[in-house]
Structure formats: structure tokens, C-alpha cells
Structure 1
Amino acid sequence: MAGNSGMQGITAMQMRQLFSAAFLALACAASLPALAANGHSYDFGKPAKAEQASRTVEVVMGEMYFEPKSLEVKAGETVRFVLKNEGSLLHEFNLGRAAMHAEHQKEMQHMQDMGMLTPTGMQHDMSKMDHSKMGQGTAGMDHGQMMKHDDPNSVLVEPGKTAELTWTFGKATTLEFACNVPGHYQAGMVGDLTVKP
């Protein structure tokens, strides 16, 4: 028993909660995209600073649409996207391939289920989140640190707000720009982005 003295005060319920929290942390870590030494890495380009942009493209976000619906850029070009949300709901501008959007939609659904996403914004007040979805809020874990919306190829824009994303495009390829807020992509909030040689 001497070896278990630190475990005597833990009930079976607390142990299940600890295991649930540990499992959830591992599952979240496994679902994250591969990270480079200094952050996310994408084969279609990388984030850039606005002053590096050779051109600015304005994209309007409305109720389940983007305007324009398609864009063309050149490989090696740095584009500053100015994103204006003229709708009444929270929207996202995310650069990627269809499979990447499908994976990101799962993360966004989880964020909505936890109460981190509301129809019109992000919930930054941890007390208003549903901690029961994250292993009963155990062991003093900072769930906000576990699940964030901070991918460099993506930005959330609240209703009536404007945001920016600047990107240097890599090789020629076909991408999508999409809103992955639950249900928005399926409602048609996706556009085609062609990276020409």
C-alpha cells in the first residue's frame, strides 16, 4: 500500500474523469495538423505580412455566400484578403483543399458543441462554455488552450466586422476558400481558388 499512498484519496469517478481528460487531450493532439518547428505548414503556401502583398482582394461574406465565388492567383504571389462580413452570422474564411475543410468542420462542430462558437461570435468567457463536453472539466485543465481557432490559413469574422488574411501561394494547384462554421459549407459557402503557374 505504501506505493499507492498518493492515490488513496482518488475515487473511481475521479479516476474515470482523469482518464477521460487524458484521452481527450491525446485525441485533440492527434487530430491537429502536422506542425513545423515554427508553426503550421502547408504545401500550398504560407502566411505573410500585409506589407508583402503584391495585391489586395476584397471578399464579401454574406448569408451563406462569398462574393466573388472564385479567385485566381499566381504561384509565388502574396495576396492580402480583406474580408467583410455583411451578414448577420459569424463566418470563416479558410484556405485549403476539400479534405482539409471536412476535417476542420469536425473541429468547428466540436467547438460549437462546447459553446465556444455562437451563431454570431467566439465565446471567450470560459464560465459560459459547456465543460461537460470536455471530460467534466477535470484536473484544472485550461480547455480554451486545448481547442483554439488559430490556424494561419483561416480567420473568423463576426457580423459587421472586417478582417484580413495575407497569404503567399506556393505551387500551382486548386484550392477552396470556405466557411467551416457548422452547416455553412453545406449551405454553399465555398468558393474556388485556382493557383496558376
Structure 2
Amino acid sequence: MFLRESLMLAAALLALSAPVWAAPAHTFDFGQPASAAQASRSVEVVMGDMSFDPKTLQIKPGETIRFVLVNKGQLLHEFNLGDAAMHARHQQEMLQMQQSGMLTPTGIKEMSHGMTGMDHATMGHGMKHDDPNSVLVEPGKTAELTWTFNKATRLEFACNIPGHYQAGMVGKLTVSQ
């Protein structure tokens, strides 16, 4: 009896100490990731210290856009496609990453696994930054995100690093004919 209870207690403790794994791949009702080769056009978005230029984008349903993201600011920024509710949820995830020390003002700390966050690998504590509708861009760097928009909708592109969205780092993206 003692052995069985000890094994059950050990199994329970092991389960509690295991990392929390990310949910299965996200699906998005407004479209899906695509390869740059599929893009019908490229759109450059410049990230300033708390701004996007341009602030609004017009896209047609069915169009595949290659976003070229240029961070001319002094801080780490994110380009994330979604609606306001998605951004609110993602801001909470980003806050957890910041509180754990993974996000710094200018980048992602290298983890003890020998992997950097910029390769979107697991970043300690089971947290990841690998959503297909999002990319982090360090100061002075350029990144890309290619997306096919499948229906008319109103979205936002935003930086969800804690405080950035609230400081105005959000733009409007309208998908319409």
C-alpha cells in the first residue's frame, strides 16, 4: 500500500513539474500563412518606437500579401494580425513572457537550451512565440510574414509587447472588394 501511494504521489508531482505545452496549431477564420512565392504583392511596414507606417492597409479577399517588416525603432516589436480580442489574449501571453525574463526591451534572451527565441523555438517554461500570424523584429532588423486573406473582414495589425499596443502601436487592416 505504501509503495502504491508513493508511486502515485511521485507521478502527480512529476505531472505538476512538467512544462506546459502550447495548444495545437491555431486556425484563423480570416486566412492562413502562405509562402513568399505565393504573394500577389509586397507591403513594407516600418516599425518606429511606438508606431507603424502605414497606419492603415487595404487588402482584397483572396489576396496573398508579403509583409516586409522593418524595425527602425530602438525596441523589440511584434507584427501580429488579428482582431482586438485576439490581441488582448496575446498581450497576456506576452506579459507572461516578459515577467519570466524571456522578453527584454530589445530582444529575446537566449535560453539555456542553446536556442534563441528568434528561431521561435520553445523559450523555457513551455512558452513559445510561434503563432503563424505573428513575428518579432529586433531593432534594426527586417523580417517577413506572408498571409492569404480569405474573406472580407476588419482586422488590426499590432505590437502586443506589454504597453506597446496601449501606446498606439496598432493599425487598421481592412479586407474588402
Give the TM-score normalised by structure 2.
Answer: 0.86
State the match for 2:17 in structure 1: 21
State the match for 2:138 in structure 1: 158
Cα distance in structure 1, aligned partners of 2:150 and 2:54: 22
Cα distance in structure 1, aligned partners of 2:8 and 2:153: 55
Say if 2:80 and 2:133, in contact at 8 Å, map to a contact too: yes
Match of 1:148 among 128, 151, 158: 128
Matched letter for residue 17 of structure 2: A
Sort the Cα spacing of 1:179 and 1:5 in 2 relative to 1 into closer, same or farther, 3 A: closer
Cα distance in structure 1, aligned partners of 2:17 and 2:123: 10
Deviation of 1:18 (Å): 5.0
Cα distance in structure 2, aligned partners of 1:173 and 1:143: 33
SS of match in other structure, 2:75: coil
Structure number with the higher helix fraction is 1
Sort the Cα spacing of 1:143 and 1:76 in 2 relative to 1 into closer, same or farther, 3 A: closer
Cα distance in structure 1, aligned partners of 2:100 and 2:150: 35
Deviation of 1:143 (Å): 6.2
Cα distance in structure 2, aligned partners of 1:5 and 1:187: 52
Deviation of 1:145 (Å): 6.8
2:172 is aligned with 1:186: no
Bigger shift: residues 145-154 or 176-185: 145-154
Cα distance in structure 2, aligned partners of 1:117 and 1:76: 35
State the match for 1:2 in structure 2: 3
Deviation of 1:40 (Å): 2.1
Cα distance in structure 2, aligned partners of 1:154 and 1:112: 17
Sort the Cα spacing of 1:21 and 1:56 in 2 relative to 1 into closer, same or farther, 3 A: same
Say if 2:102 and 2:123, in contact at 8 Å, map to a contact too: no
Match of 1:82 among 68, 75, 81: 68
2:69 is aligned with 1:73: no
Matched letter for residue 67 of structure 1: D
Deviation of 1:170 (Å): 1.2
Cα distance in structure 1, aligned partners of 2:128 and 2:139: 20
Matched letter for residue 110 of structure 2: H
Gap regions ≥5 residues in structure 1: 128-141
User: Superposed, which structure 2 residues align to 1:90-101 within 5 Å?
Assistant: 90-101=76-87
Cα distance in structure 1, aligned partners of 2:138 and 2:123: 22
Two-structure CA RMSD over aligned residues (Å)? 2.4
